[in-house]
Amino acid sequence: MTWKYVCSATDVPKNTLKQFDADGIMLVVANYGGRFRAFPPVCPHMEEPLEESGIIANCVLTCSKHLWSWDLGTLSMLGETEKPLKTYDVKEEEGKLFALIDKELVYEFENSDGDDDDFFK
């Protein structure tokens, strides 16, 4: 596992999310009240880009598409949310944010439009 530089802490204002490329791994950094979380850039529900659909209020991340939400402090699932948020550990050193990345975290999604990939095999 390696700590990879992601961004400056000031790149992500309070209660916002921003997407970054950390040495080839796309991730989103969330600033919730001055603390940070880093996680894959898509919603675990239906792959919505969280940089666009995510809203942070009162330490809670909500995907505005179907209102799945997570407590960013405890990472517990709230309301009707059915999948946990996968996260990378984050540390802040001298105003810079680093994420502990072993391999890219991904979610498994059900194939909703049939198994088109098999068509070409």
CA 115 – CA 11 distance, rounded (Å): 40
Please give, one letter per residue, the 3-state secondary structure of 30-41. EEECCEEEEECC
**Which residue lies nearer to ligand FES by CB, 85 or 101?**
85
Q: Supply 7's token pair.
A: 């961004």
What is the closest distance, in whole angstroms, from the C-beta atom of residue 81 to ligand FES in the complex? Answer: 8
- Written as one string, the DSSP assignment of 48-99 is -BHHHHEEEETTEEEETTT--EEETTT--EETT--SPPP-BEEEEETTEEEE
**Which residue lies nearer to ligand FES by CB, 18 or 83?**
83
What is the closest distance, in whole angstroms, from the C-beta atom of residue 69 to ligand FES in the complex? Answer: 8
- In terms of Cα–Cα distance, which of 39, 30, 35, 19 is closest to 87? 39
Amino acid sitting at position 75: L
Binding site for ligand FES (CB under 6 A): 43, 45-46, 48, 53, 63, 65-66, 68
**Which residue lies nearer to ligand FES by CB, 8 or 58?**
58
What is the closest distance, in whole angstroms, from the C-beta atom of residue 86 to ligand FES in the complex? Answer: 14
**Which residue lies nearer to ligand FES by CB, 43 or 99?**
43
What is the closest distance, in whole angstroms, from the C-beta atom of residue 106 to ligand FES in the complex? Answer: 15
